[in-house]
Amino acid sequence: MKTSIIKTHFTDSKYKFSVSSLSGSTILNSIAYTNEDAMKKAMAQLQGMPVGRGNFERKTNHDGQFLFYLKDANGQILGHSLPYGSEAGMENGIKNLINSLNALKEEYDL
């Protein structure tokens, strides 16, 4: 059973991917990559790496909204969330992303 979807985008000479739930909610937007190979490498890294709470940097933007950044083992940012209205909502988003990525790993036997 598919639990989440990875979509790719090409705009303004930049490659990006996003992770969405089956309900269509975007959980994570990637940073912009200059070429398709770099984007695919980041997607493979994301699908293969163990993701835990330590991979996330939590932030508050200038409007007081909460968001998180997902980082790889080297501390490089892979992507970010959409803004959340509450810290609890952001923490729930992190939990949902971890669960979705783990489900993808199981689905594709990674």
pLDDT at 82: 95
Average pLDDT over residues 67-87: 95
5-46: per-residue pLDDT in tens?
678 888 888 999 998 876 778 999 999 999 999 999 998 888
How far does CA 80 lie from the centroid of its chain?
6
Is residue 66 scored above 80 in pLDDT?
A: yes
Q: Identify the CA nearest to 71 among candidates 88, 63, 85, 59.
A: 59
Q: What is the CATH number of the domain that holds 26?
A: 2.30.29.80
Indicate the range of 18-27, 90-99, 100-109 predicted with least confidence.
Answer: 100-109
Q: Which residue range(s) make up the domain with 88? A: 4-107
Residue 19 near residue 4 (C-beta atoms within 8 A): yes
d(CA 73, CA 108): 22
| Domain total of the chain | 1
pLDDT of residue 53: 82
